[in-house]
Structure 1
Amino acid sequence: MSGRDLRALFSTNDRALQAGEAFTNRELQWELTAAALTAHLRHTTAPGFDVEDLETPRDNVLVFHGVGGIGKTTLSRKIQAALAGAEHRPAQWGEPGWAGERILPVRIDLARSAGTSFEDLVLTIRAALSTLGRPLPAFDLALRRYWDHRHPGEPLEEYLRRGGLTARFGKALPQQMQSAMADVAQALLLPGTVGTAVGQLTGALVRALRERRQTVRALARCTRLADLLEAEPDLEALSFYPHLLAWELTQLPADKKVTPVILLDTFEDVGDRTHRDLERLIQRVVWLMPNAFFVVTGRSRLQWADPALQGQLDYTGPIAWPGLAAPASTVPAARAAGAVRGRGRQVLVGDFSPEDCDDYLARRLSRDGRPLISGEIRQVITGRSHGLPLYLDLSVLRFLEIRRTREPAPADFDHDFGALIARTLSDLTPDERHVLRSVSLLDAFDLTLATAAAGLPHQAPAQRLIERPFVRENAFGVWPYHLHGLIRSTIRGADDATDDRWTDGDWQQAAERALAALGTQWTATGTTGQGRMLLIGCLRQGLALARDFGLELGWLTDAAWAYVSDSVWEPIAPPARPDATRGGLQTPADALVELLAALARRQHEHRSTTAARLTTVTSSRLLPGDLHEMGLYYLAKAHRDLGDSAASRHGMQTVAAGGGRLAPAARRGLAHLARLAGDFPTAHDTARTLGWAGRQHRVEGDIYWPHGDMHRAATAYAAARDQADQHGVAGERATSQTHRALVLAFTDPDTADDEIDLAEQFLTGLDLRATTLTLKIAALARDAGTLPGLEAARVLRAESRDAGITAVEAVLDVVLAFHHAVLGDHDKIRATADRLRDLARNGDYAYYADIAHFMAAAHLGVGRSTLYRTLAAVMPDDNGPPGVPFPSGMAAPTEDGIRV
C-alpha cells in the first residue's frame, strides 16, 4: 500500500520518476492489533459488561512505542485505514476476526505541531460519532452547556470548521446537538424559547432527574448525568463527559452499534514526567470509555501501571492496567496467546529486517516500474540504517540531492544524518542528553556505569534514559543496556548541530570518565566466575576507548595480565576504530589491542600469522616494559610451535633474564625446548626449580611420559591439575587434565574414558586449540588397535598443520605408531616412523622417532595389553628387554628414570 511521497516528488524535475510513499511489512503489529481488538469486542459484548462500572480493571488500550523515525505514525495511519475498510488494508495483512461488527476508527495526532488541545480531542471523538446520524443527548447536552460557558459568543459550528473537523466528519454535529436539546425540552414540556437557553434547560432536566419523572426515564438510566450537569462546566468537568459518551454508545439500537477505535499518535508530546496535566485528562477519557478501544503510539511506554504515579494520575497501578504492567515485549513475542489476553499490551516497534529495507527502498523511487536506486546502493543504505525507516527516508532524499549533479555511488551513503540526533534528543532533558552522549561511547552499560561516565552525582537522569525506546535491554549481558545501533553511531559520528553539542574536549573528558568507571567496576570484582566475564567486558570497552581517544593504559595493564593468566582466550579485540583510515600502531593502546587480539586469535590462526602480528607489536616498542615482555614471551611460544627452536630459545632467555611476571613461564619454556632437543637432564633439573608459577608438575609429566613412565606422568599431571584448580586457573586445569588423559590412554583405556570425559568438561567454554587437538589424539590412543579407520587421524593432521603446531602432529604420529604396532602392520608403522624423522630434521623430537622404532622392532603384533605393559616398563629398565636397543637418542636412565 503506498501513497504519494511529496517530499521526493518536489525534490526533482524528473517527471517520469515515480515517488511512492512505500509501506513495508508491519503485519505482526496488525496481527496484534486485530487480536487485541477481537478480545476487546468479546469482552464488551459479554453479558456481564457494564459501561458504568468504574472499578473494573481496564484492558482497552494497546501501546506501540519505539525510537523516533521507526515508523509509528505511518503504522497508526495504516491501522486507521485498515479498520476503515478492507479495500484500504495492505495485502499482506490478514482478515480480522470481527466479521459483522461495526468499527469506527478515529485518529488524533497529539503532536505539538498539530496544536491539538484536550477540547479538540473530545470534539474529534464526538464529531466522528456524528456519522452515526443521530444525537447523543446526555453527552450533547453537557457539551453544549460547557461550550456556552467556556466560549461565549463563539459558535461551535465555526470552531469545528476552523479546526478541520467539519471537513473530516461533515456538518451534522451542531444539528444533532440542537436536536438533542429540542427533544429534551419537548420531553420536559418546556416552551421553545427555553429550549434554546441551555442553562435553563439543563437546570430543568436536573430537577426532573432528581424527581425521577417518567418523562425523562430514558436519560435517568444514566446514573451520573445529573451530577455532571450540576458540576461547574470547566475543563475538569469536560474530562468526565466521555463517560456520558460511553453510556450513549450502549443505548444505540442494534443497527447503529459501533465500537470506536481511537488512535492517539505522538503521545510523547502530551507532556513529560513532571507535567502530566494533559496526560491525566486523556487517561481519564480512556478509563471512562471502556467500550472504546485505544491504540497509542509514541516514543515511550505508558507508565499508568506504575503505582508511584498515584496522585499525578487518577487510575494507576498494575491492578488497574494489567496489560500495561506486563513486561515490555517485541512484536514477535507479542504473538503469543498471552499477549492478547490482557497481557503484553506495550509493544516495542522493531526495526525493519534487511529484506524489508531493500523492498522499501526499491519501491520508494521508480521509473517505468523499475527501482531507481541500484541494488548496490540499497545494500549500503540497508547496512547503515540498522532497520530504522527514518534513515531510509533521509537516504532517499540524499539520493535525489546527489542525482541533481551526478550519478550517486554506494560510497555516497556511508553517511550519518544529523537530523537523527535532533529527533532523538528532542524530548530529552539536558541531563538525559548528557548521559546519552556519554553512554554512546560504550557498547553496553548499567546505571552505575552510565552515571559515572556522565560525571553526574545522581542516577536519576540515567534511570530515565534507560526507559527510552532507543535503549535496548539484554538481561543476560554483563551490562544490561545498550543503545540502538544507528542512534549510537549517529551521535558519535554525525555533525551535531544542536545547541548543546559537545566539543572535542567534551568527548575526550567523557572518554576518560568512562575508562575510569570501567576500571573501577573491574577492580571491585574478582577475576573468576562473573568477575571473569566482567574482566572481558571491561577490557573490550576499555581498549576501544583508550585506542580511539589516545588515553593512558592505566588499569588496562593489570587487566591484560589478568586476561592472559587464565589461558582461556576469549575474543578480546574491540570493533574497528571510527577513523579506520589511520594505519599502523601509533599509541600504547593500539599496541595493546593488537597484542591481546593476536593472543586470542592464535587459537584460530596459523602460528606464523601469530608470530608476524606479535613481531609487529614488539618491534613497535610502544608498550611498557612488562607488556613488552608479554609480547616477547608469546612470540617465543609461537616460534617453538613452528619448530624455530633457536628463535624461541632466544626469546625465552630474554624474558627469563628480565625477571618479570613471565620469567617463571619463560624458564618453563626453556625446559620444554631442552626436552624437545632430547636434553632431558637439563629439562628435568630446570623443572625442579619452577614451582607453581612455572607449572612444575606439568613440565615433569611432559618429561616422564616419553620415557614410558606413564604412571609417574599421570600422577604429575594430576598434581598440576589440582594446583590449577586451587588457583582458579581454568585453562591450566584443562590442559593438565588433557595430558593426563593422553598418557593413561596408552596404558589403561578404561580409566582413560573417564579422564577424557573430565577433560571435555574442563574445556567447555574455553578456547584452547592445541589442548583440544591433544584431547582428540588421546581418544585415538585409547582406541588404538580397534579404530575402524584413520579418517579422524587425517582430519587431526590437517587441523594441526592449519594451526602450525608441530608438537601436536608429532604426538599424533606416536599414537598412530602405537596403533599400527598393536595391529602388527609393519609397513604403516615404518611409514609413521619416517614422518617422525622428517619432523626431527631440525634436531627436535628425535626421541619420538626412536619410540616408534622401538615399537616396530621389538613388539610388532604382540597385542595391545602386552604392548601397554612393555611400553610402561622398558624405559626405566637399565638394560631393556633382551635384544632391544635403547632408542638412539637416549642412554641409560638415571636414578630418576631420566635418560641422558
Structure 2
Amino acid sequence: MADLRALFSSNNPPVADEAFTNRERQWDVVAAALEQHLRHIGGPGFDVEDLEAPRTNVLVFHGVGGIGKTTLSRKIEAALTPSGDRPAQWGAPSWTERLLPIRIDLARSASAGSDFERVILTIRLALAGTPGRPLPAFDVALRQYWEHTHPGEPLDEYMRRTGLMGRFATALPQQLQTAVGEAAALLQLPGGAAAGQVAGALVQGLRERRERARALAGCSHAAGLLEATPDLEALSYYPHLLAWELSRLPAKHQVTPVVLLDTFEDTADRHRDAERLLQRLVYLMPNVLFVISGRSRLGWADPALHGQLDWTGPAAWPGLSPAAASGGRQHLIGDLSPEDCDDHLARRLVQDGEPLIGPGIRAQITARSHGLPLHLDLAVARFLEIRRTRTPELADFDCSFPALVARTLSDLTPQERHVLRSVSLLDAFDLNLATRAAGLDQQAPARRLTERPLVTENPYALWPYHLHGAIRTALRDDRTEDHWTPGDWHRAAGRALAALGEQWTAATGSAPSRMLLVACLRQGLRLARDHRLTDLGWLTDAAHAYTDDSVWEPLAPAAGGPGTGGGGQDATVGAGGDGTGLQTAADALAELLTAIARRQHENRARTAERLTAVLDTGLLDAELTTLALYYRAKAHKDLGRTPESRTGMQQVADAGGRLAPKAHRGLANLDRISGDFPAALAAVPTLGWKGRHHRVAGDIHWPHADLDRAITSFEAARAEAEHHDAPGERAIAQVRLALVVSFADPARASDELDLAHQYLAPLDQRATLLLAHIAALAKDAGHPDVPGRAHTLRREITDAGLPWLIRVLEIGLAFHHAVRDEHQDLNETVDRLHSLTGNGDFAYFTDIAAAMGGLPHLPRPTVRWLDGHERVRERWHALVTTRRARLDAWS
C-alpha cells in the first residue's frame, strides 16, 4: 500500500515504501542454521557419541503470546517438507540432503512425564516411515520401557487415546515388536521373549563383547542404558541410542530430522522437571536440529541454572548465550526487533537511493518505540511534518506521541481509560490489582481492558498482564481532554501501593510466597520512590520479611514511571551508593535493601559504606534504622571489625523489636569469635528459633572437635528451618553440617555436600557457597590437588571481603598438611593463622592447627575452652590419625 501522507508531504516527496516483512528474516535464520548444522554433522570430526562437545543443534524463536510463533513453526515445517508449501519470498533451499521435519506442540499435555513420552513417541513415529536399517537398540529399549511403565496397555491403544495417530501410526507398534523379536532370535532366546528379557540378554552379550550383540547395539553406552531401570529418567537418555542409530543409516537412506518444539513455555515449572527431560533430548541428539519456539529465551547458557538442568553455561550452548555474536541462536519475534525497526525506518522513506531518516534519528525512534509499529508510523509522520519547514533533529524524537495515547484511548470507555492510566503505574498486574489501583468496586472495566490488544497476557506469570512499553511511556505525556493532573497520579500511586500491600498481606496470612513478596517489593519501592509517597506502610514489614531468609533476589526498582519523567530503565537507587541521591524515606529504603542484597556480589567493605551512607541521611524511621544497623554490624563482623560489630549488635539488641533475637545471636557469635566459648554457650538457651539457637550451638561445638554434638546441632538447625519453610537457613545449616562431617567422614560428606549444593542452587548466598567449597577441601584432605584449590579459593574469598572465611580455609589446609605429615607446610599454615588472628578473633584456630599435627604450641590466654585445651588437642589430632589410616587403607 502506498504511503499517501509521504506522497503529499512536499513538492519533492521521498519514495515511500511499506517495509514490513513477512518473516523472511526468520526463514533466513532457519536456512543458515540448517546449512551450518548439515556441514557440522557431515564433517570428519563429528562424533554423535561425544558428550563433551558444545551443542549447536538448537535454534530458538521467542516472543509474546499471540504474535505468530505457532504460525511460523508451521510454515517452517511446510517449507522443509519436500511437497510442502514454501512461501515464495522465502526462496529455494540450497541444500540437497534429505530432511524430516517433525513438529510437536508441547501445549497439548499437562504433565512432564506424559508430555515427554509423547515427544519421544512422535519422533519415533515420524521415523517409522524411514526406509533402510532398523533401529533395534532404541526400539528394544523403548519397548522395555513401555512394558515396564504401561503394563497391559497396548501401544497402539495409547496412541489412539492420546491422538498420536498419523501416517505410520499402525506401523510403529509392529516395528517395536519386530525389533524385539529379531533381537531375541539373534540372541538365541525362546520365541515370545519379553522386551525386558531381550534387553537383559543384550546387555550380557555387550558386556561379553559378543559380535551378535554388538551388531544390534554397538553404541558404547548401550549396555548402561539397557540395564538401567526403564523409567522416565532412563527414557530421557534413550535418545542417545536413537541418535547413534540414525548416524549409522546407509548413505542412501540417511535422513536429518528437524524437530520443531512449539509452545515451549508450557514445559516450565518451578522445578524445571519437564525442561530437564527435553534438554537431555536436545543434548543427546546432536545430529538433529531442534527449532524451539516459546514466550521466553532459553536460559540453558546461564551458569546459574547449574543443578536445575544437566548441561548449563555458554561452553555447552555457545549459541544460546546472550553474549553470542551475530550467529547467536536466540531470536525475538513479535514486536519489531531494534534491527527490524531500523530497517523499516531506513526503507520507509528513501531519496536518491539513500534513507531519508539518518541513523541517529532512526536509533532514537527505535529506542522510544519499544518495537511498536504504530510508534514508528507516527515518528515517520512527525519527520515529514518537521521536514516541511526545517531539518529534523535528534531531540525532535526524544518523545512519545499524544496521538498514540489518543488512538489508544479513542475506543475505550471512561472507566477503561481510568483503569488504563492506573495500571500504567504497574509493571504487571492482575484483575484485582488493576481494580484496586483504579479505586473501583467492580472488575469488569479491568477485565475488558485486558481483552484489548494493548495488554499482553502471560498466564504463567505471577501477575499475568502488562501494558505495551510504548503505551506506558506515552501515558506520561498524556494531553487528552480527560488527562490526569499530578495530584491524580500521586493518589493513584498511593492506591496502587496499598493494593500491592493488600495482596502480600493476604498471602502471608495463609501460604507465604517468596515470589509474591519480591514482586510486591519491586513494584512498591518504585511507586513509593517515584511518587514521593511518605507512608511506607507495609513496605517496612515486607523489608523485614525479605531479609529474614537469606535468599537475596535483586530488588533495584526501575527508575521513572508515568508522570515522573523518568526513563523507565533499571537502575540502582542512589547516586553511586554514597547517599547523595537519597531524598525520601522510600529512596533510603530502596537503597538499604539493595545494599543488603548486593553484598552477595560486592566486597563487604562496600556494603558497610553503603549502609553508613543510608544511616547518615536520617531518612529511615527507628525500625528501619535498626535493620540498617544490624546488617552493617554483620558486614563489620565479616570484615573482622569486631569492636564496630559489637557496638552495632548491642544497639540493635538494646532497641528490642523484631531484630533483637538476631542481634543477640550476633553477640553470641562475637563471643565465640573472641574465644569466650562459655559465654557464647550460655546465650544459646535464650536465643530460640529466631536467634538460630541450634546453629549457634553447632558453631561452638565444632572448634572443640566435639563433632557428634556439632552434627546433632546442625541437623536440628536444618530440621527447624524445614519446619519453618526457611530455605535460606536450611542451606546455611546444611553447609555447616557438611563442613563438620568433612573432617570425620569423607564418604558421608560427599552426600552432605551434594545436598548442600541442591539447597544452594536457587539461592544467592556467596559466603555460604564459599564455605561449602572449604568443606570440600576438608573432605579431600590428603589429596595432592588441595593446595592448588585452596589458592584459588583464597583469592575468591579475598575478593568477596570475607576475611573470616580465610581463617576457616587455613584450618582446612592445616588438616590436609597434618594428614600428609607435611611439617614445614603445616608450620607455615600455623604461622599464617597466628598472624591472621593477631587481633584476638578466631585465636583458637591457631591452637587447633597446631594440635592437628601434634606441634607444640602455647594456648592463647584469651581462649576459654569448654572442656580444656588438652582435650581439644587430643580430639583434633585423633581426627588426623583416623584420616591417615583411612587413606592408607584406600592406597
TM-score, normalisation: structure 1: 0.59
Secondary structure of the structure 2 residue equivalent to 1:634: helix
Please say if 1:894 is aligned against 2:877: no
Structure 1 residue 886: Cα displacement? 4.6
Please say if 1:560 is aligned against 2:543: yes
Assess, with a 3 A threshold, how the Cα gap between structure 1 residues 897 and 830 changes in structure 2: closer, same or farther.
Answer: closer
Residue among 408, 426, 435 paired with 2:410? 426
Deviation sequence 1:447-491 (CA, Å, 0-9, x none): 111111112221111111111112111122111111111112221
Structure 1 residue 634: Cα displacement? 0.3
Structure 1 residue 755: Cα displacement? 1.5
Query: Is the CA contact 2:677–2:865 (under 8 Å) kept in the aligned structure 1?
Result: no
Aligned mates of 1:613, 1:781 — CA distance in 2: 35
Query: Is the CA contact 1:830–1:856 (under 8 Å) kept in the aligned structure 2?
Result: no
Assess, with a 3 A threshold, how the Cα gap between structure 1 residues 407 and 744 changes in structure 2: closer, same or farther.
Answer: farther
Structure 1 residue 637: Cα displacement? 0.7
Assess, with a 3 A threshold, how the Cα gap between structure 1 residues 617 and 788 changes in structure 2: closer, same or farther.
Answer: same
Assess, with a 3 A threshold, how the Cα gap between structure 1 residues 772 and 332 changes in structure 2: closer, same or farther.
Answer: closer
Aligned mates of 1:804, 1:567 — CA distance in 2: 18
Aligned mates of 1:399, 1:847 — CA distance in 2: 75
Aligned mates of 1:822, 1:373 — CA distance in 2: 74
Deviation sequence 1:84-112 (CA, Å, 0-9, x none): xxxxx99844589xxxxxxxxxxxxxxxx
- Listed as ranges, the matches of 1:478-877 within 5 Å are 478-491=462-475, 493-494=476-477, 496-526=478-508, 531-551=513-533, 552-578=535-561, 579=565, 584-786=581-783, 788=785, 790-858=787-855
Aligned mates of 1:437, 1:687 — CA distance in 2: 54
Assess, with a 3 A threshold, how the Cα gap between structure 1 residues 67 and 641 changes in structure 2: closer, same or farther.
Answer: closer
Aligned mates of 1:831, 1:411 — CA distance in 2: 66
- Listed as ranges, the matches of 1:281-292 within 5 Å are none
> Could you tell me which amino acid in structure 2 is paired with residue 598 of structure 1?
A
Deviation sequence 1:304-358 (CA, Å, 0-9, x none): xxxxxxxxxxxxxxxxxxxxxxxxxxx9679xxxxxxxxxxxxx99310122112
> Could you tell me which amino acid in structure 2 is paired with residue 26 of structure 1?
N
> Could you tell me which amino acid in structure 2 is paired with residue 704 of structure 1?
H
Assess, with a 3 A threshold, how the Cα gap between structure 1 residues 66 and 571 changes in structure 2: closer, same or farther.
Answer: closer
Structure 1 residue 387: Cα displacement? 0.8
Query: Is the CA contact 1:853–1:887 (under 8 Å) kept in the aligned structure 2?
Result: no
- Listed as ranges, the matches of 1:85-96 within 5 Å are 92-94=89-91
Deviation sequence 1:860-890 (CA, Å, 0-9, x none): xxxxxxxxxxxxxxxxxxxxxxx77556764
Query: Is the CA contact 2:678–2:866 (under 8 Å) kept in the aligned structure 1?
Result: no
TM-score, normalisation: structure 2: 0.59
> Could you tell me which amino acid in structure 2 is paired with residue 562 of structure 1?
A
> Could you tell me which amino acid in structure 1 is paired with residue 811 of structure 2?
V
Residue among 344, 363, 375 paired with 1:391? 375
Structure 1 residue 715: Cα displacement? 1.4
- Unmatched 5+ residue regions in structure 2? 28-62, 69-85, 94-291, 296-331, 568-573, 575-579, 874-891
Structure 1 residue 437: Cα displacement? 1.0
> Could you tell me which amino acid in structure 2 is paired with residue 512 of structure 1?
G
Secondary structure of the structure 1 residue equivalent to 2:513: helix
Query: Is the CA contact 1:653–1:666 (under 8 Å) kept in the aligned structure 2?
Result: yes
Please say if 1:27 is aligned against 2:27: no
Aligned mates of 1:762, 1:424 — CA distance in 2: 47
Residue among 334, 339, 352 paired with 2:336? 352
**What is the root-mean-square deviation in Å for CA atoms of aligned residues?**
3.6
Secondary structure of the structure 2 residue equivalent to 1:381: helix
Quote the residue 1:339 is aligned against. Answer: none
Structure 1 residue 651: Cα displacement? 0.9
Aligned mates of 1:886, 1:893 — CA distance in 2: 14
Q: Greater CA radius of gyration, 1 or 2?
A: 1
Secondary structure of the structure 1 residue equivalent to 2:456: strand
Query: Is the CA contact 1:800–1:806 (under 8 Å) kept in the aligned structure 2?
Result: yes
Query: Is the CA contact 1:680–1:898 (under 8 Å) kept in the aligned structure 2?
Result: no
Number of residue pairs matched by the alignment: 574
Structure 1 residue 835: Cα displacement? 3.5
Quote the residue 1:194 is aligned against. Answer: none
Structure 1 residue 26: Cα displacement? 2.8
Structure 1 residue 514: Cα displacement? 1.4
> Could you tell me which amino acid in structure 1 is paired with residue 21 of structure 2?
N
Aligned mates of 1:895, 1:841 — CA distance in 2: 22
Deviation sequence 1:146-204 (CA, Å, 0-9, x none): xxxxxxxxxxxxxxxxxxxxxxxxxxxxxxxxxxxxxxxxxxxxxxxxxxxxxxxxxxx
Quote the residue 1:475 is aligned against. Answer: 459
Deviation sequence 1:501-530 (CA, Å, 0-9, x none): 112222222212211211111111127866
Assess, with a 3 A threshold, how the Cα gap between structure 1 residues 826 and 471 changes in structure 2: closer, same or farther.
Answer: same
Assess, with a 3 A threshold, how the Cα gap between structure 1 residues 8 and 823 changes in structure 2: closer, same or farther.
Answer: farther
Secondary structure of the structure 2 residue equivalent to 1:894: coil
- Listed as ranges, the matches of 1:286-301 within 5 Å are none
Secondary structure of the structure 2 residue equivalent to 1:842: coil
Assess, with a 3 A threshold, how the Cα gap between structure 1 residues 720 and 604 changes in structure 2: closer, same or farther.
Answer: same
> Could you tell me which amino acid in structure 2 is paired with residue 781 of structure 1?
A
Assess, with a 3 A threshold, how the Cα gap between structure 1 residues 19 and 527 changes in structure 2: closer, same or farther.
Answer: farther
> Could you tell me which amino acid in structure 1 is paired with residue 343 of structure 2?
D
Deviation sequence 1:566-602 (CA, Å, 0-9, x none): 2222222211134459962222111111111111111
Secondary structure of the structure 1 residue equivalent to 2:806: helix
Secondary structure of the structure 2 residue equivalent to 1:524: helix
Deviation sequence 1:259-299 (CA, Å, 0-9, x none): xxxxxxxxxxxxxxxxxxxxxxxxxxxxxxxxxxxxxxxxx
- Unmatched 5+ residue regions in structure 1? 32-64, 72-88, 97-330, 335-347, 859-882
Deviation sequence 1:800-831 (CA, Å, 0-9, x none): 22221112222122212212222233343344
Assess, with a 3 A threshold, how the Cα gap between structure 1 residues 797 and 415 changes in structure 2: closer, same or farther.
Answer: farther
Percentage identity across paired residues of the two chains: 58
Query: Is the CA contact 1:526–1:532 (under 8 Å) kept in the aligned structure 2?
Result: no
Structure 1 residue 794: Cα displacement? 3.4
> Could you tell me which amino acid in structure 2 is paired with residue 358 of structure 1?
D
Quote the residue 1:457 is aligned against. Answer: 441
Query: Is the CA contact 1:25–1:92 (under 8 Å) kept in the aligned structure 2?
Result: no
Aligned mates of 2:736, 2:419 — CA distance in 1: 51
Assess, with a 3 A threshold, how the Cα gap between structure 1 residues 850 and 27 changes in structure 2: closer, same or farther.
Answer: same
Structure 1 residue 792: Cα displacement? 3.6
Query: Is the CA contact 2:627–2:659 (under 8 Å) kept in the aligned structure 1?
Result: yes
Aligned mates of 1:409, 1:790 — CA distance in 2: 62
> Could you tell me which amino acid in structure 2 is paired with residue 539 of structure 1?
L
Aligned mates of 1:499, 1:898 — CA distance in 2: 85
Secondary structure of the structure 1 residue equivalent to 2:508: coil
Secondary structure of the structure 2 residue equivalent to 1:692: coil
